[in-house]
Amino acid sequence: MILSHNYQVPEVQDIADFVGDSLGLSQAAARTEADVIVFCGVHFMAETASIISPDKRVLIPDLGAGCSLAATIDGEKLRAWKREHPGAVVVSYINTTAEVKAERDYVCTSSNAVKVVNSIPKDREILFLPDLFLGAFVKERTGRSMEIWPGECHGQAGSTPGIVNQRLDANRDAEFLIHPECGCVTQFLYFAGKGDFDQRLTRVLSTEGMVKHARESQAAKYLAATETGILHRMRKENPDKLFLPVKEDAVCQYMKMITLEKVARSLREMVYEVRVPEDTARRARVAIQRMLELA
């Protein structure tokens, strides 16, 4: 089975059996009966698939496809943070290594982070990692006080309020779709909180949420604040609508390392296998299963 994240290059998305966001891809990996999964995405996504389906062979076409956000925290840093907050519940975004996943209580993706945090008893302290913008968004939406790890995605954080304002001014008629990892999400929360932001036209969504919204909305024009790979599916599924990026260069070089040639090689030579040590996988699986059950 070939899985592709929404940020992959168009030609890879087009040959995949399933294209989706982190949650959808985890669910697809969990339910497939295929013996081999070729994961067209970044390394932590393939690791997650391997943890969920330990009896399957999970391949990534390029082992160099990492994630700058996942790289902001490792097991040692997390253990030190936990020692400073004994008894706290650790909620981690899926963009983390297996080693970090093994140290936490809950895992979440951009599409269910609010739901996951809301499921935690109100009297428990929460440590949220590793994305500061997603953390700020979840904190505001749930009203929970949380300690937030100061990590960010190099591509998404660059969609700053200044850039967004210019694009919004030039496209007043467009619906504005923001990924919660974006630097502009805190500005949205600030203005929304003051009540002077046009919330009818703005949505904070996961990548799959954006695709679904574009399909269902009547609007003719959309501005997307996220990695530009998302535009391919939106345009393909809605040829009569206009989709523009907030930032043309919001491109994740790691996602773009996967090419058609590398996917073909992966299938032909069964490379590169992603396998998580069993002890780490067993501990990480608990938190991922909890999320899949909630979703």
Contacts with ligand 13P, residue ranges (CB under 6 A): 6, 21-22, 95, 109-110, 153, 156, 181, 206-207
Can you say whether the dihedral through the CA atoms of 62, 207, 172, 241 is positive or negative?
Answer: positive
Q: Pick between residue 92 and residue 206 the one whose CB is nearest to ligand 13P.
A: 206
Q: How far is the CB of 34 from ligand 13P (least distance, A)?
A: 22
Task: Could you list the beta-strand ranges (E) of the chain.
Answer: 2-5, 18-20, 36-40, 57-59, 89-93, 106-108, 126-129, 146-148, 175-178, 202-204, 221-225, 242-245
Return the number of the residue (55 or 216) whose C-beta is nearest ligand 13P.
Answer: 216
45 or 284: whose CB is closer to ligand 13P? 45
Give min distance, CB of 245 to ligand 13P, in A: 14
- CB closer to ligand 13P out of 4 and 156: 156
Beta carbon of residue 71, minimum distance to ligand 13P (angstroms, whole number):
13
> CB of 103 within 8 A of CB of 83?
no
Residue 254 Cβ vs ligand 13P, minimum distance, rounded to whole Å: 10
Residue 55 or 248: which CB sits closer to ligand 13P? 248
The rounded distance, in Å, linking the Cα atoms of 132 and 143 is 16
Residues in CB range of 182: below 8 A, 6 or more apart: 133, 156, 157, 159, 225, 226
CB of 211 to ligand 13P, least distance (A): 10
